[in-house]
């Protein structure tokens, strides 16, 4: 290190010590090797709770306060001088080096590690979280989380800000691509397995945004009005399952209010449900700028404020000293933070910067993308394409020669070779559909047209054997889609191309659902979602049959926005960013989620509204048949067995879905997903499947007793390949 670098570091450290008293102890008393024998909390045979309690006894008040807030985010506009001590991520928390407690270095990591360019490193972009949910595959979710966990550590981070599981009540929500679809059991199971395997890499894993943060427009001011039963059986159930499976170290509370109280100072959410009913052991941190008070937030169960110390810094210290916040309450907050540090392994296995395994990331991303691509339409078996027969191919679509679109906001992964993306910039990853298709069909004449001039694209389509249109829909945090239509005139483009050549295939790069006014004019539709670093290779392998599509929709595609529970999206007037000043003291407008627990397919079923493509739907290049349903109702679980046969000529994987209709007295939607399994079958092969259904998934939440209840009566079990294709039916009586 040169003289100037030494001088700069000294200035930073001196400033940090002056600004934050806790930093004085942290930096001045760094222990030497060998002192660990005098630290009983370093005994790994002790429980995380015991280790946290031992550290807690050693902390000063300033050190406790320092653990309860962040120190700013680079480039955010509101920073402390100490912000520069972080790793360039979304936030960081000073550790207690004199006690061997490391700093917490946080990074956004929804579908890959964000802000990698800021510390000169590379991140793999995986397919979007909604794409992951389309795999319906717990091992895929584990692979997803494990790769992100490894890359976090390689970049010097030890906490992930990811694990989004808000249900798709509003498919125009700008963060739909970060979440896991519309069903709580599918969403919770997928995110839970992702978190479990991310946490296994010794990082603090997070689940968010707790709760009911189901739209981005006006998220800082909206008050969600919803009944307890409805939320417990929908959004909160997804969180409960995710926490049960994944055991995250942190829960991030959301910007919005729920039934009158902001989520980050909502006693019902944070204490009654999360910490008491679910026995969550980790800590609750606020979304960035989502803290609104000191005493109320602390009493409600908020443990940590991000990104700065507006309420949990000097104001919290003063509240403790005055008795407004009891010391026992403060100690519980700090205990939870320390417990998560020990439980995650970041104390015993410190993150050390290393080189990301780029090739492994590429391969994992491609495999996950293949498993997530949903084949929605395939008239006359136009797919898979035969590279020997198809000699002339048109690739049409903006950037289809160079890249594929990705989701924006805090989830945005930096593309290789580029600086950090601007907030809400459209980022196209350098994975070229034109190059991937050309490589897969080397003997074909593959031509490109951007589609900017639909007449030009249609003229090219007339000259080829098949036209492949790559259509996109860009989404980002902090904004909702104005509509579910494809933007920038792409619907008209597809209509003109299909009119010129009926052998038109549409590949959708979307973060949510889209309407398809051209659906009857095209031969095939492939939903590729936001496909990640190797998305184009995955799409090409699906198009040419190197991989057989097996994914199924985690979200219903409506025919029109008029069929949504809220046909018009409430968009309030723009407000100032809470990070730029003082957050609002109370929400300013209400949104009634009067559809209640009828989210997604449950809404369309209840309202008898036909859909474009139903939840759980997805085609394959082979076919399957179902037989032999048997249902055995037990005390704690119900076992559903059936036989699936591959009746086609290709090997494939079938996701078999199990639904249940509850007794009429339960007053539930017509059916709910209660389980599924994924079977890999060779041509002609049949296999018996067994799905164990937790009786909680057959229960309702009874507000009068504040508990789950199994309603006596007749339960109808249905099994098949989608929510609208259920050939097997059997009824059982539950006493």
* One domain for residues 546 and 638: no
Sign of the CA dihedral running 375, 531, 157, 240: negative
Among candidate residues 556, 585, 605, the one where a domain is terminated: 556
Residue 339 lies in a domain: yes
With respect to residue 617, please indicate whether it lies within any of the assigned structural domains: no
The answer to whether the beta carbons of residues 315 and 294 sit under 8 Å apart is: yes
Q: Which residue has the tokens 């584990």?
A: 142
Question: Please, what is the average pLDDT of the chain?
Answer: 92
Q: What does the alpha-carbon distance between residue 13 and residue 713 come to, in Å, rounded to a whole number?
A: 68
Of the candidates 574, 567, 513, 566, the one whose C-alpha atom is nearest the C-alpha of residue 217 is: 574
pLDDT at 9 over 50: no
- Residue 375, strand partner residues: 526, 619
So what's the pLDDT on residue 570?
A: 66
Which CA distances in Å does 527 have to 123, 179, 489, 717?
A: 24, 16, 19, 29
pLDDT of residue 32 exceeding 80, the answer is: no
Residue 298 shares a structural domain with residue 373: no
pLDDT of residue 415: 86
Same domain, residue pair 512 and 384: yes
Only one residue has tokens 């049949």, namely: 686
| Residue 170 pLDDT class (50, 70, 90 cuts) | very high
Mean pLDDT along residues 643-659: 98
Domain-located, residue 580: no
Spatial distance between the Cα atoms of 718 and 730, rounded to a whole number of angstroms: 7
591 in a domain, yes or no? no
Average pLDDT value for residue range 439-465: 98
pLDDT score recorded for residue 84: 74
- Among residues 137, 183, 287, 537, the one annotated as catalytic is 287
Q: Is 725 an active-site residue?
A: no
Task: Identify whether residues 130 and 254 lie together within a single domain.
Answer: yes
Q: Within this chain, do residues 387 and 454 fall inside the same structural domain, yes or no? A: yes
Within-domain flag for 614: no
pLDDT value at residue 269: 98
Is residue 597 assigned to a domain?
A: no
Whole-number pLDDT of residue 585: 75
Given a cut of 90, is residue 73 above it in pLDDT? no
Categorize the per-residue pLDDT at 578 as very low, low, confident or very high, splitting at 50, 70 and 90: very low
Query: What per-residue confidence (pLDDT) applies to 121?
Result: 72
340 and 377 assigned to the same domain: no
Q: Which residue has the higher pLDDT, 510 or 38?
A: 510
Which of 197-211, 563-577, 585-599, 633-647 comes out lowest in average pLDDT? 563-577
Domain CATH number, residue 255:
3.20.20.300
pLDDT of residue 588: 84
Cα–Cα nearest to 413, from 94, 206, 216, 155: 155
What is the domain extent for residue 384? 368-556
pLDDT in tens, 397-429: 999 999 999 999 999 998 887 666 677 889 999
Q: How far is CA 81 from the centre of its chain?
A: 32
pLDDT one-digit tens code per residue, 76-123:
666 676 777 788 899 999 999 999 999 999 999 999 999 765 566 789
Average pLDDT over residues 250-271: 98
pLDDT digits (tens, 9 = 90+) for 325-372: 999 999 999 999 999 999 999 999 999 999 999 999 999 999 999 999
- 609: confidence class by pLDDT, cuts 50, 70, 90: very high
Q: What angle do CA 682, 383, 380 make, to 5 degrees?
A: 105
Residues 529 and 630 in one domain: no
Residues 6+ apart with CB under 8 A from 204: 104, 158, 159, 160, 248, 249, 250, 340, 341, 344, 346
Yes or no: say if 387 and 630 are a contact pair by the CB < 8 Å rule: no
Q: 664 and 552, same structural domain? A: no
From residue 304, how far is each of 63, 313, 333 by CA, in Å? 13, 10, 8
Confidence band (pLDDT; 50, 70, 90) for 70? very high
Q: Residues of the chain with pLDDT > 70: what percent?
A: 91
- CATH number for the domain spanning 655: value is 2.60.40.10
Counted domains in the chain: 3
What is residue 79's predicted lDDT score, i.e. its pLDDT?
65
Same domain, 218 and 160: yes
Say what the alpha-carbon torsion angle 186, 189, 191, 197 is, to the nearest 10 degrees. Answer: -150
> Per-residue confidence at 147, pLDDT binned at 50, 70, 90?
very high
Q: Which of 537, 556, 575 is the last residue of a domain?
A: 556
Q: How confident is the model at residue 587 (pLDDT cuts 50, 70, 90)?
A: confident
**pLDDT at 576 exceeding the cut of 50:** no
Q: Give residue 21's pLDDT band: very low, low, confident or very high (50, 70, 90).
A: very low
- Give pLDDT, residue 610: 98
Residue 517: which of 563, 481, 560 has the closest Cα?
560
| pLDDT tens per residue, range 457-482 | 999 999 999 999 999 999 999 999 99
For the chain, how many residues are written?
735
Domain membership flag for residue 163: yes
Provide the percentage of residues in the chain whose pLDDT is more than 90: 86
pLDDT for residue 18: 38
Whether residue 427 sits in one domain with residue 315: no
pTM of the model: 0.94
Look at residues 522, 541, 556 and tell me which one is the last residue of a structural domain.
556
Q: Determine, yes or no, domain membership for 562.
A: no
Q: Is the pLDDT of residue 16 over 80?
A: no
| Dihedral over Cα of 456, 458, 462, 464: its sign | positive
pLDDT at position 171 over 60:
yes
Confirm if 82 and 72 have CB atoms less than 8 A apart: yes
The reply to whether 552 and 412 lie within a common domain is yes
pLDDT at 734: 86
């Amino acid at each position: 290190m040169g003289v100037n670098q030494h001088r700069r570091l000294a200035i930073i450290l001196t400033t940090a010590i002056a600004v934050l008293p806790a930093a004085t102890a942290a930096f001045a008393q760094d222990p030497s090797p060998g002192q660990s024998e005098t630290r009983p909390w370093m005994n790994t045979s002790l429980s995380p709770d015991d280790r946290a309690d031992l550290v807690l006894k050693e902390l000063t008040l300033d050190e406790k306060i320092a653990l309860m807030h962040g120190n700013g985010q680079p480039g955010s506009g509101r920073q402390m001088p100490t912000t520069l001590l972080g790793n360039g991520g979304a936030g960081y928390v000073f550790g207690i080096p004199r006690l061997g407690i490391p700093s917490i270095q946080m990074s956004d990591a929804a579908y890959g590690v964000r802000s990698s360019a800021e510390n000169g490193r590379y991140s793999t972009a995986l397919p979007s979280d909604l794409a992951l949910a389309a795999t319906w595959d717990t091992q895929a979710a584990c692979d997803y989380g494990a790769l992100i966990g490894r890359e976090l550590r390689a970049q010097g981070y030890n906490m992930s800000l990811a694990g989004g599981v808000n249900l798709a009540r509003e498919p125009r929500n700008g963060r739909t691509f970060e979440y896991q679809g519309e069903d709580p059991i599918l969403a919770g199971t997928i995110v839970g397995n992702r978190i479990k395997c991310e946490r296994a890499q010794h990082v603090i894993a997070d689940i968010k945004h707790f709760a009911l943060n189901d739209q981005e427009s006006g998220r800082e001011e909206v008050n969600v009005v919803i009944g307890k039963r409805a939320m417990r059986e929908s959004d909160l159930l997804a969180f409960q399952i995710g926490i049960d499976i994944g055991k995250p170290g942190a829960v991030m509370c959301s910007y919005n209010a729920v039934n009158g109280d902001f989520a980050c100072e909502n006693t019902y959410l944070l204490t009654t449900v999360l910490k008491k009913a679910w026995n969550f052991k980790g800590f609750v941190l606020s979304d960035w700028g989502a803290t609104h008070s000191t005493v109320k937030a602390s009493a409600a169960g908020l443990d940590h404020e991000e990104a700065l110390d507006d309420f949990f810094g000097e104001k919290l210290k003063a509240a403790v000293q005055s008795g407004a916040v009891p010391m026992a309450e403060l100690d519980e907050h700090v205990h939870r933070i320390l417990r998560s540090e020990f439980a995650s392994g970041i104390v015993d296995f410190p993150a050390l910067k290393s080189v990301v395994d780029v090739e492994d990331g590429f391969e994992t991303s491609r495999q996950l993308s293949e498993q997530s691509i949903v084949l929605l339409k395939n008239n006359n078996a136009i797919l898979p394409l035969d590279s020997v027969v198809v000699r002339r191919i048109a690739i049409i679509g903006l950037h289809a020669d160079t890249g594929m679109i990705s989701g924006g906001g805090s989830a945005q992964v930096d593309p290789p070779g580029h600086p950090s993306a601007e907030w809400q910039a459209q980022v196209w990853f350098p994975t070229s559909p034109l190059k991937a298709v050309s490589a897969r069909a080397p003997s074909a004449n593959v031509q490109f047209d951007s589609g900017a001039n639909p007449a030009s694209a249609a003229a090219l389509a007339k000259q080829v054997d098949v036209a492949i249109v790559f259509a996109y829909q860009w989404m980002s945090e902090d904004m909702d889609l104005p509509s579910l239509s494809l933007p920038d005139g792409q619907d008209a483009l597809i209509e003109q191309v299909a009119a010129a050549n009926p052998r038109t295939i549409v590949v959708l790069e979307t973060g949510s659902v889209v309407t398809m006014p051209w659906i009857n004019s095209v031969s095939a539709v492939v939903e590729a979602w936001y496909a990640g670093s190797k998305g184009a290779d995955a799409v090409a392998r699906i198009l040419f049959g190197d991989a057989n599509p097996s994914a199924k929709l985690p979200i219903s595609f409506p025919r029109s926005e008029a069929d949504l529970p809220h046909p018009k999206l409430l968009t309030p007037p723009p407000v100032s960013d809470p990070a730029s000043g003082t957050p609002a003291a109370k929400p300013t407008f209400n949104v009634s989620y009067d559809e209640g627990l009828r989210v997604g397919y449950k809404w369309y079923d209840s309202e008898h509204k036909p859909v474009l493509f139903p939840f759980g739907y997805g085609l394959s290049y082979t076919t399957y048949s179902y037989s032999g349903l048997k249902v055995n109702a037990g005390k704690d679980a119900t076992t559903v067995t059936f036989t699936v046969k591959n009746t086609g000529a290709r090997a494939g994987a079938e996701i078999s879905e199990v639904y249940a209709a509850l007794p009429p007295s339960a007053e539930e939607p017509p059916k709910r997903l209660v389980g599924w399994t994924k079977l890999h079958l060779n041509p002609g092969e049949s296999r018996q499947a067994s799905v164990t259904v937790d009786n909680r998934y057959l229960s309702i939440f009874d507000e009068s007793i504040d508990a789950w209840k199994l309603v006596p009566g007749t339960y109808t079990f249905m099994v098949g390949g989608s929510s609208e294709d259920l050939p097997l039916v059997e009824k059982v009586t539950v006493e």
